[in-house]
Homo-oligomer: A and B are copies of this chain.
């Protein structure tokens, strides 16, 4: 059994599943409604929904016919929390880029060394 964070990241690592989540961010939807924008069978969409549901990223209504899908963002919060550990690293590289661009604008890309 993969750990929870791996399950979430793996479920998110697919453009169709991320598009489904983006659609659900605008409101609940049925499988049929989710399939409409794609050239995909209901079975293929259902398979993606199963992955999302197992990762806790969506929940589904109880009614057998209708069963609307709903976004559940809790697992995304855990991913965002984990990423916070690394924020200082990407901010550092942005800072370095800014320094470099400032040097470029001064027509001195190598700094004062050359």
Residues of A participating in the B interface, judged by any CB pair closer than 8 Å: 2-3, 5-7, 9-10, 12-15, 18, 21-22, 25, 71-74, 76-77, 79-80, 82-83, 85-87, 89-90, 93-94
Contact = CB atoms under 8 A, between A and B. Distances in A.
Contacts of A86: 21, 25, 71, 73, 76
Contact of A83 (B22, B83, B93): B83
B15 A6 contact: yes
A87 B83 contact: no
Contact of A89 (B12, B14, B71): B71
Contact of A74 (B3, B10, B14, B93): B93
A83 B74 contact: no
